[in-house]
Amino acid sequence: AQKVTQAQTEISVVEKEDVTLDCVYETRDTTYYLFWYKQPPSGELVFLIRRNSFDEQNEISGRYSWNFQKSTSSFNFTITASQVVDSAVYFCALSLSGSARQLTFGSGTQLTVLP
């Protein structure tokens, strides 16, 4: 069975610091998708990124970047120059073969960015 581990339950940083959120996954399947979602205090889930197992290219989107490493089964998320508005719970998720029925979420990391 697949598993997603977000070992960092809570992280606090001061504004403008860089912060990396860790995500380690377990699966024996070769075809899978990885996701990151942001959940701000208002509660909704905001989609951030989707990656399939055949695409190990790292991605940068503004202050956000993602490092996908199959060798270590990790899909880490870095926020550069953090801002107070980045304060949220961040979820990593794994889907086998891209199936919603095979979607597993990590337990989430609460990020607090202090002014």
Partner 1 sequence: EAQVTQNPRYLITVTGKKLTVTCSQNMNHEYMSWYRQDPGLGLRQIYYSMNVEVTDKGDVPEGYKVSRKEKRNFPLILESPSPNQTSLYFCASSPNGGFIGYGYTFGSGTRLTVV
Element (H, E) at 88: strand 88-96
- Closest approach of partner 1 to the CB of residue 16, in Å: 29
- Closest approach of partner 1 to the CB of residue 72, in Å: 21
Report the site for partner 1 in 27-46 (rule: CB under 8 A): 33, 35, 43-45
CA dihedral 7, 21, 87, 91 (to 10 degrees): -70
Choose, by CB under 8 A, the member of 12, 59, 69, 98 that binds partner 1. 98
What whole-number distance in Å separates Cα of residue 37 and Cα of residue 47? 5
What whole-number distance in Å separates Cα of residue 5 and Cα of residue 24? 5
Q: Which is nearer to partner 1, 12 or 14 (CB)?
A: 12
Q: Which is nearer to partner 1, 45 or 60 (CB)?
A: 45
